[in-house]
Chain A
Amino acid sequence: MRPGMVSRLSLGGARVAWLLSLPALVIFVAVVIIPLAMTALLSFHDWGQYKGIEPVLILKNWREVLTDPYFREMFARTFRIASLVTLITALLGAPEAYILNRMRSPWRGIFLLVILGPLLISVVARTLGWALLFGGNSGVANQALMHLGLIQGPLPFMFTEIGVVVALSHVLLPFLVLAVWAALQRIDVQVENAATSLGAGHLTVLRRIVLPQAMPGVLSGAIIVFALAASAFATPAIIGGRRLKVAATLAYDEFLNTLNWPLGAAVAVLLLLALVAVILGCNALIERRYAEAFR
């Protein structure tokens, strides 16, 4: 082959690659980039009860969102809930994935289905299940517990942070289990035997050998859960309702109830920026910590 042909071929290859990814690129720009840019632009517009949206560029909304303690409380609550949910799913999901990975062949498939099955059901339906169980005096679980005399009144679940955390943890647990399971599957089974033969007990093997190798999976699962929990809408809307707002339900209310679109846009963009910052930060941390051993 002549030397010139290589570059011409690869040049043609690059053009073909661009051409082939064009449809996806067009859709991505049309439905993600443009609306995002418009939302960002919207957050700088002015709004009044009687004048509606005014297409000017001011920092009013941003100043309000960043300084008003009301918004600060909303964002603090959002990230508090997301952090708690991440912690709970990690504590429950990592052992769950480990047990799942140790199961024998028919049971492993069955329990994997049990864990992933809920993903096939709408988030709304799963959250409403919690509302049916603990929704005030008529909640099934509350009634049963009251009949048994274990509690005096209904458990405070609806419109509480605990309620939102519990329901969100339930909804998001499969994502963490999947991420950890993928990491565990890459571990050579003989590695645990090797540690045992060197005198390590069960707990030592778990702590010193399995956990460090599963950690990248736990962390990537945690990032997914954190992002989904912080931006979740359906579950906080149903369990928390109007009384316990988080960033996502707040933005929704500003858009559809107050009709203050620019303020809602500022909330939405701030949530996005905060999430991106958290995720990129965590990712950089993981990369630095594990690059040496895990490529």
Chain B
Amino acid sequence: MPFLELDNLTKRFGGDQPAVEGLSLVVDRGEFVTLLGPSGCGKTTTLQMIAGFVDVTSGTIRLEGRDLLAVKPARRGLGIVFQSYALFPHMTAGENVAFGLEMQGVGRAERDERVRGALALVGLAGLAERYPRRMSGGQQQRVALARALVIRPRILLLDEPLSNLDAKLREDMQIELRQIQRTLGTTTILVTHDQAEAMALSDRVVVMNRGRVEQIATPQEAYERPASPFVASFLGKTNELEGRVSLGVVSIATGTWTKPSAEDGRAMVVVRPEKIALTPPAPDRLTGTVRMRVFQGNHWLYRIETAAGAMLVIRQNSGEPGPAEGETVGLSWRAEDMVVRRRREDPA
């Protein structure tokens, strides 16, 4: 039996464009699923429908086979971490964490024990007496996580929990979050617009755009085989090129690749910058001129002007000096590293 099941979920706030349209998703017990998309794609609305803060226009949500929509938000037993953390400012960290247990009627002794355990789990042992105002953003974030986890929620919902932290702290928290989730085995749904965060944390990602699901897949699958141009451009850097296919041969300017599966005609070719190798120029290769290169520590970012347009290339920093600006280079990649899609004919 599926654990959490969203079936044809739709939310309309009034206006023509629904905030969420026909979203169907099955989440297994213990899974970490991320709703990923740009702002306004309906990911937060979806989370709030699961939490019960937003009414559902149509569709159903089932948790362990039972209709979740019939349950009041206060009785759903979900742990939620909000983007703003939403800590109770008039309570200490310990009181914040204890609140949910108090509501469940957990006895004093057990409550204290579990609060201590939850704070220790998020690395805040000893800070129970402190008020949220006197804590750093990262610490507040941990209190919010402890508060959501201590009630042993059936599902943990995370609404952009790391977006208010600085880059270094965010990376640390990502690792820690994943570790805690693995240890506890809590089914988790994360909402984020940060594709790196989604890929680092999730078992599966749900890429959303304008209220619709574009792709549901593991992070690797969505990255390597994006189901739509939107997914390709939203997950990582990418190059989109115009090409032509005839008899299984893809040609882009002077370069050719053999790809029997490609359909004949005009095509859009998508290839990731790190899949491209820089080679000496050759007549049967796509060639271009290095316009700019940027050093980024572990890799170099190249911007290369080709006959098919400007392209991004990422080259690992192997210690060898790469082509300099102004040099002419050849670009090559394996046929299986590119996605070839038939180009829709222009209506005009």
Contacts and interface: CB of A to CB of B under 8 A. Distances in A.
A293 interface: yes
Contacts of A293: 89-91, 131, 133
A190 interface: yes
A220 B76 CA distance: 38
A201 B82 contact: no
Chain A's interface size range is: 20 to 34
B99 A198 contact: yes
Interface in A178-214: 188, 190-191, 193-201, 204, 208-209, 212-213
Interface in B123-179: 131, 133, 147-148, 151
Interface of A: 188, 190-191, 193-201, 204, 208-209, 212-213, 290, 292-295
B75 A199 contact: yes
Contact of B151 (A198, A204, A208): A198
Which 5 pairs of residues, A with B, have the shortest CB-CB distance?
A198-B100, A199-B103, A190-B86, A194-B86, A212-B90
B18 interface: no
A212 B99 CA distance: 14
Q: What is the interface of chain B mostly: helix, strand, loop, or mixed? A: loop
Interface residues of B, number: 29
Contacts of B104: 199
B84 A199 contact: no
A197 B73 contact: yes
A294 B77 CA distance: 30
Contacts of A195: 88, 99
Given A188-B86, A294-B90, A197 B80 contact: yes
A197 B79 contact: yes
Given A198-B99, A199-B104, A293-B133, A193 B151 contact: no
Contacts of B348: none
B82 A190 contact: yes
B230 interface: no
B131 A292 contact: yes
A190 B53 CA distance: 10
A191 B133 contact: no
Nearest to B83: A190
A193 B51 contact: yes
Given A197-B79, A198-B103, A200-B103, A209 B86 contact: no
B89 A190 contact: no
A212 B131 CA distance: 14
Contacts of A294: 89-90, 133
B74 interface: yes
Contacts of A208: 99
B74 A201 contact: yes
Contacts of A292: 131
B268 interface: no
A111 to B, nearest CB: 23
A275 B87 CA distance: 37
Contacts of B253: none
B82 A194 contact: yes
B74 A193 contact: no
Given A188-B86, A198-B151, A213-B90, A295 B133 contact: yes
B227 interface: no
A199 B86 CA distance: 15
Given A198-B99, A199-B151, A193 B75 contact: no
A196 B131 contact: no
A196 B86 contact: no
A204 B100 CA distance: 12
B78 interface: yes
B74 A197 contact: yes
Given A204-B103, A292-B131, A293-B131, A196 B90 contact: no
A197 B78 contact: yes
A213 B90 CA distance: 7
A193 B100 contact: no
Contacts of B52: 196
A195 B75 CA distance: 12
Contacts of B147: 194, 198
Contact of B80 (A188, A194, A200, A290): A194
Contacts of B75: 199
